[in-house]
């Protein structure tokens, strides 16, 4: 879209985003309650409905994570990545703050006995210890959660992951890292002054404005005293198709694999 035309989107964006509940957890529960369809051609912005993106992480997952430990998918949403992870670890455990997301994840998991889902606010003090007491040392997978949290909650989440990984586990995180402004972002995802695609409209009208998460944001959340970075770099996140039917949108992302120090 020509650079000035995107500003015509502003009135719709302001109107839609004025509906977002102030409490983030309430917003997430409301959002999941409005989702009618997941997977390809569905409503969930970050769901391309295939395993292409997961397959691109597999080599890094396999060289950095201990395959004998359980994996916890933090902020699992409707559990599509939890189910993919289950093929590579003895147990896969999806946790999410929104009961509606967890209910949906359970409904969609009809055939994998090693997969479980639970409602949990992973930023609350003690959440990591609680899971560690039950599961022991775990690998942690996080996709698209840090960038939707405020800076204080990012620190709280990272602090909870330390007891959860224990000595043997690792954190594998993948986050959106689009560095332009919000109008550039939504224009790139197919919004025009005439039409905003449904997955984007549901997100703008239901969710807190997302941030971005790259090396600097990772360093602010995972301090050097507690964590060491084993790998990091750029990745591509596949999202719902909104500009061309059948072709997932591609969003610039950042991945990092972290190990506890000491």
Ligand X SMILES: C[S@@+](CC[C@H](N)C(=O)[O-])C[C@H]1O[C@@H](n2cnc3c(N)ncnc32)[C@H](O)[C@@H]1O
From residue 168, how far is each of 7, 125, 131 by CA, in Å?
49, 22, 15
Nearest approach, Cβ of residue 216 and ligand X (Å): 20
Of 144 and 169, the one with the shorter C-beta distance to ligand X is: 144
Give the ranges where the chain is alpha helix by DSSP (H).
10-17, 24-34, 52-64, 80-85, 99-108, 127-135, 151-165, 182-188, 198-206, 215-221
- Angle at which helices 24-34 and 99-108 pack, to 10 degrees? 40
Residues within the interface to ligand X (CB under 6 A): 28, 46-47, 75-77, 80-81, 96-98, 101, 121-123, 143-145, 148
Nearest approach, Cβ of residue 66 and ligand X (Å): 21
Nearest approach, Cβ of residue 148 and ligand X (Å): 6
DSSP states along 82-132: HHHHTTTSS-EEEEES-HHHHHHHHHH-SS-TTEEEEE--TTSTTHHHHHH
Of 9 and 120, the one with the shorter C-beta distance to ligand X is: 120
Of 68 and 150, the one with the shorter C-beta distance to ligand X is: 150
Nearest approach, Cβ of residue 251 and ligand X (Å): 11
Nearest approach, Cβ of residue 104 and ligand X (Å): 10
With beta carbons less than 8 A apart as the criterion, state whether 87 and 65 touch. no
Nearest approach, Cβ of residue 262 and ligand X (Å): 26
From residue 140, how far is each of 22, 31, 94, 185 by CA, in Å?
28, 24, 10, 28
- Compute and round to an integer the Cα radius of gyration of the chain: 18
With beta carbons less than 8 A apart as the criterion, state whether 27 and 206 touch. yes
Of 51 and 121, the one with the shorter C-beta distance to ligand X is: 121
Of 6 and 149, the one with the shorter C-beta distance to ligand X is: 149
Q: What are phi and psi of 39, to 5 degrees?
A: 85, -170
Of 54 and 227, the one with the shorter C-beta distance to ligand X is: 54
Nearest approach, Cβ of residue 144 and ligand X (Å): 4
Of 128 and 144, the one with the shorter C-beta distance to ligand X is: 144
């Amino acid at each position: 879209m020509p650079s000035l035309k995107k500003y015509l989107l502003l009135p719709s964006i302001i109107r839609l985003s004025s509906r977002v509940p102030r409490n983030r957890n309430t917003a997430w529960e409301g959002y999941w309650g409005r989702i009618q369809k997941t997977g390809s051609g569905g409503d969930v912005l970050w769901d391309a409905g295939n395993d292409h993106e997961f397959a691109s992480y597999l080599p890094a997952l396999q060289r950095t994570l201990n395959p004998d430990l359980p994996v916890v998918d933090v902020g699992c949403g409707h559990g599509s990545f939890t189910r993919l992870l289950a093929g590579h670890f003895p147990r896969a455990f999806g946790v999410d703050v929104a009961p509606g997301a967890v209910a949906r994840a359970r409904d969609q998991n009809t055939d994998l006995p090693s997969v479980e889902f639970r409602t949990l606010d992973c930023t609350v003090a003690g959440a990591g210890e609680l899971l560690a007491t039950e599961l022991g040392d775990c690998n942690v997978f996080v996709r698209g959660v840090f960038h939707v949290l405020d800076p204080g909650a990012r620190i709280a989440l990272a602090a909870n992951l330390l007891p959860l990984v224990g000595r043997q586990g690792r954190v594998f995180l993948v986050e959106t890292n689009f560095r332009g402004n919000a109008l550039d972002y939504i224009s790139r995802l197919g919004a025009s002054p005439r039409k905003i695609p449904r997955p984007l409209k549901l997100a703008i009208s239901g969710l807190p404005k997302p941030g971005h998460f790259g090396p600097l944001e990772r360093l602010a959340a995972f301090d050097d005293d507690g964590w060491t970075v084993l790998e990091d770099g750029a990745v591509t996140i596949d999202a719902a198709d909104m500009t061309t039917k059948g072709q997932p949108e591609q969003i610039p992302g950042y991945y990092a694999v972290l190990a506890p120090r000491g």
